[in-house]
Amino acid sequence: MPNLTHTAIADQPLFQERLKNVPLAPGVYIWKDATGHILYVGKSKVLRDRMRSYFGAPRGLNSKTRRLVSNIADFEIILTSSELEALLLEMNLIKEHQPKYNILLKDNKSYPFIRVTLHEAWPRIFSTRATPEDGSRYFGPYSSAGAVRRVLKELNRLFAFRPPYDCKDDKFNRHRKLGKPCMYFDIHRCLGPCVPDLVDRAEYRATIEAVCRFLEGKTDQVVRDLRRRMASAAENMEYERAGYIRDQIRDIEQISQRQQVLRTVDTDQDVIAFAREAGSAVVQVFYIRGGKLIGSEPFALQNTEDEDDGQLLSSFLTQFYDTAAQVPPNILLADHVEEPVIIEQWLRQKGGHKVEIQVPRRGEKRKLIDMAEQNARQKLEEMRLQWLNTEQKAVASLSEIRDLLGLPGLPARIECYDISNTQGTNSVGAMVVFEQGEPKKSRYRKFKIKTVEGANDVASIQEVLRRRFKRAAEESGEVLNSEFSVMSSTTPPENADATDPEQRAIDEAEAVQDDAETLQNAKLSTQKSDDTWTELPDLILIDGGIGQLNGAMEVLRELHFDHIPTVGVVKGVRRDRFDLLQPGASELIVLGRDSAALRLIQTIDEETDRFAKQYHRNLRTKSALTSTLEEIPGIGPKRRRALLKAFGSLDGIRAATVEQLAAVPGMNRKSAQELKGLL
């Protein structure tokens, strides 16, 4: 009989009956809390036995599982025909829901890749976080965007392909029309494919293929091909070109020598080891290609406390290789994983070739594991020191602010408000949230000012605070009559409360420009009530002087939130001071130039200013775009919406061909030609 005493299950007899009817078959189980939120996703080849194992004596469970069980109120099962199907379904559900108690790659971020657009006439090489099957080649994942930038910078220096971040198609086509390359050609960072006759397509494609081979670790092939091209150039008396290729060969050989040559078999393999401490874990991956170590990336994991090493590695393998661009034939692991045969079967399907998982205990392969473990321990120590440094700084800053303002405790959550407009047009408000001294971007909010005409920062601040705190009251269950509607989106879409279809089309087209970290929260908030509005600050910062502060206090008193400490942030003329003004005070609280409080207040204020201005610029750009399209004869609201949906921006429409414009719903070739001519 399952012990349900230490759970959140409301109807225990019903739950026991449902649990008894779970089949002895493979599948996926999903534990949920009382509100229906998913707590944990797991798989098993015998579902009933696995699920019942959670409800034994609590002392037989580890602390993490005890916390999970204490929150279980419901479950869901999905039967599969095989263990492999259960593995795939578990992976997809974890990726979609990011359950609280599953081991996850840190921050659930999508890791960056290097993308080579081989399907294009003049291929580009740049970083990306999406890997659609469009004919491109992908290399990675890398642990950070900075790592990708460093690799691309080095590759561009060696091979002079189109600059990774500064040669989009519009610039490429513009220089093609001018017949003149940009400065990257002059400094030998681009072969100049934008200008006819500077480099032919076959030679440029050969360069791109050389980059791909280099990323695969096949530097010997790259050097052989370059030597042939150097000899051919010298034969044709193209001595300058031959000299350039000679220098290229020298640089590649130097890099190749820096790659550690290993005394293993001449094969491709990934070496995966880890280090863990107090619930934190770092997994180190060595990429070995052709017997050479060509790359090394650390990946942080979260929710690893009380999990055994095998479960940790199993979770990492499924999440890492689910998005990896390549699966090598050999994978060396520091420890055994759960269900290695099933994981090998999945990797074989994904890679298209046989994949063998090994756990070496001696010899050269074990030395590789040891080297990877050493790197993982070093990275974990760096993370620990960084966390301690950040934590200590935050505590010092918050303690100083508490003492200066006479607060009852540390202001764990600080909200800051600012207004941005251009001579009263496209006026917007921004709310930025810092928790424990760190930005909490999923809690940022944007407000399009609706009730204030012209440049009136005081009235705009009042509208923003009224909307924010009325929403807080409403979400917590209080009913308030209000002439003001509250903006319910998180970050993007920037005008989520717009009802005009054209405005929504513009918002969708421009959404990619918004902060990626807040996009998912915006999507969720349009589908359900956003209870994050009920999270109240311990301190409110108002960007501005006594006028803005008094206006804010008037609204807070009106809505009965004036118990929240509120201060104004008064800046110097050249933003060289960030002093505090309390309500009713005649003098500023001057922050010491070297104080921890000043550093945090300045960081929060400048982040709010950035966030507000970004939203304002986006709105201003949209207004200009809509205005321009409205002035074009024959482009009515329906066509305008369709064009914006298809191309995203005026630049996108301008860059499109007549054929592409004509293919847009509602357009025809004649109107496309007229539009192209006018633009």
Read off the pTM.
0.53
Distance CA 221, CA 366 (A): 29
- Sequence-distant (≥ 6) Cβ neighbours of residue 315 within 8 angstroms: 102, 103, 104, 301, 307
Closest CA to 42 of 106, 99, 4, 1: 99
Mean pLDDT of the chain: 82
Domains and CATH numbers, the chain: 12-102 (3.40.1440.10), 113-216 (no CATH), 269-382 (3.30.420), 411-500+511-616 (3.30.420.340), 632-678 (1.10.150.20)
Whether residue 526 has pLDDT greater than 80:
no
pLDDT tens digits, one per residue of 195-239: 888 888 988 999 999 888 888 877 777 788 888 888 887 888 878
670: which residues sit within 8 A by CB, 6+ positions away? none
User: For residue range 479-508, what is the model confidence (pLDDT) as tens digits?
Assistant: 454 443 333 333 333 343 433 444 444 344
Q: How does pLDDT run across 168-186, given as a tens digit for each residue?
A: 888 888 888 888 899 889 8
At 3 the pLDDT is: 83
> 298: which DSSP letter?
E
Token couple for 520? 């998912």
- Token duo for residue 7: 């759970």
pLDDT at res. 33:
92
pLDDT top residue among 349 and 484: 349
In terms of phi and psi (left: phi > 0; alpha: psi -120 to 50; beta: otherwise), the region of 352 is: left
Answer yes or no: are the C-beta atoms of 95 and 520 closer than 8 Å.
no
CA 263 to chain CA centroid, nearest Å: 38
**102-143 residue pLDDT tens:** 988 765 456 788 899 999 889 999 988 888 888 899 987 887
pLDDT number for residue 637: 75
pLDDT at res. 478: 58
Instruction: Give one DSSP letter per residue of 202-240, joined into a string.
Output: HHHHHHHHHHHHHHTT-HHHHHHHHHHHHHHHHHTT-HH
DSSP string, 359-416: ---SHHHHHHHHHHHHHHHHHHHHHHHHHHHHHHHHHHHHHHHHHHHT-SS---EEEE
User: First vs last Cα of the chain: how many Å apart?
Assistant: 75
Using alpha carbons only, give the angle 181, 185, 188 rounded to the nearest 5 degrees: 175
Looking at residue 501, what is its pLDDT?
Answer: 41
What is the per-residue pLDDT for 500? 44
CB-side neighbour CA atoms (13 Å) of 264? 25
Does the pLDDT of residue 510 top 70, yes or no? no
* Best CA proximity match to 153, nearest among 166, 169, 172: 166
DSSP string, 472-530: HHHHTT-----SS-----SSSSTTTT---HHHHHHHHHHGGGS-GGGHHHHHHHTTS--
The 3-state secondary structure of 81-118, one letter per residue: CCHHHHHHHHHHHHHHHCCCCCCEEHHHCCCCEEEECC
Q: What are the pLDDT digits (tens) for 24-74?
A: 999 999 999 998 999 999 999 999 999 999 998 777 788 888 889 999 999
Contact 317, 340 (CB under 8 A): no
